[in-house]
Structure 1
Amino acid sequence: MKKSQPNYKQIYRDIILKKYPEKMNTCQLILEKTNFSMLDVININNMIFGTNNKDILINNQKFKSYDESTVLYILDYQRKNRLNNSQVANHFKLSRNSIAKWKKYFQLR
C-alpha cells in the first residue's frame, strides 16, 4: 500500500497567490513541473520563505524527509562534483551522517 503524498504543488501555489504574489515569477518553473520531488519542495520553500533565521533552519531540519529519487540525486551530485560528505551536507543543509548512511544503504543494493 503506497502512502499518499500531499499535493505540494497546490499548497505552494495557494501560499504564493495569497501571501507572496510577487514571488510567482521566480517560482513558476518549479510549479510547472508535473512531478514534484522532495528536492523541489525544499527549493521552492527556500525561494518563498528564505533561509535567513538559523534557529528556524535547525528546527525545520528535524522534519525533513527524502524520497529515494531525491537521495539518489544528492548522491549523484556528490559524485559528479567530487565532494566529500561534509561538503555535500553543507550544500544541501543535511547531516554528514545522513549522507554516509545513504551511501552505505545504496551501495549494498
Structure 2
Amino acid sequence: MIRVIPNYKRIYNDMITRKHPEKQEQCRSILGKEDLSMLDVIKLNDIIFGIKDKQTVIFNQMHRSYDENTILEILSYQHKNNMNNTQLANHFSLSRNTVAKWKKHFVNRHSHSLKA
C-alpha cells in the first residue's frame, strides 16, 4: 500500500500567496524548511487562521494524526524543556494518556534520538 503525503509546503505557500499575503513574513521561517513536520503544519495553521472557538479546537484536535517523526519531535521537546507529561500535553493540546502511550511505545526504541 502506497501512502501519499500531501505537499504541505506547496499547499501553504499557495494559500498564503492567494488568500493571506499579510501572513507571509510570519510563515517564512517555517516554509523555508526543506521538509515540513506535522508540528510545522499545525504552527502554520495557527498563524494563518488563528485560534477558533472551543468547539472547533476540540473537533480539530480529535482529527489530528501524528507521524512517528512528529511524535519523536514532541517527546524530544519534552526532554529538552524538562516538562512532565501534563505540561507537555497542555502545551501541545494532547491528552496525558496519549503522551504516556507515546512514551511507552517510542522511548525505549528511540531513546538515543530523544536526548539530542
The TM-score, its normalising length taken from structure 2, stands at 0.87
Identity of aligned residues (%): 56
Regions of 4+ moved over 4 Å: none
Q: How far is the alpha carbon of 1:107 from its aligned partner?
A: 3.2
Q: Tell me what 1:56 maps to.
A: 56
Q: Tell me what 2:78 maps to.
A: 78
Single out whichever of 48-57 and 83-92 deviates more from structure 2: 48-57
Number of equivalent positions: 109
Q: Tell me what 1:87 maps to.
A: 87
Q: Tell me what 1:21 maps to.
A: 21
- SS of the residue corresponding to residue 6 of structure 1 reads coil
Q: Tell me what 2:65 maps to.
A: 65
AA paired with 2:70?
T
Distance 2:71 2:94 in 1: 11
Listed as ranges, the gaps of 5+ residues in structure 1 are none
Q: How far is the alpha carbon of 1:40 from its aligned partner?
A: 0.6
Q: Tell me what 2:112 maps to.
A: none
Q: How far is the alpha carbon of 1:51 from its aligned partner?
A: 1.4
Alignment of 1:27-42 (within 5 A): 27-42=27-42
AA paired with 1:69?
N
Q: How far is the alpha carbon of 1:91 from its aligned partner?
A: 0.5
Distance 1:24 1:77 in 2: 26
Q: Tell me what 1:102 maps to.
A: 102
Distance 1:7 1:64 in 2: 17
Q: Tell me what 1:47 maps to.
A: 47
Q: How far is the alpha carbon of 1:54 from its aligned partner?
A: 1.4
Q: How far is the alpha carbon of 1:2 from its aligned partner?
A: 4.4
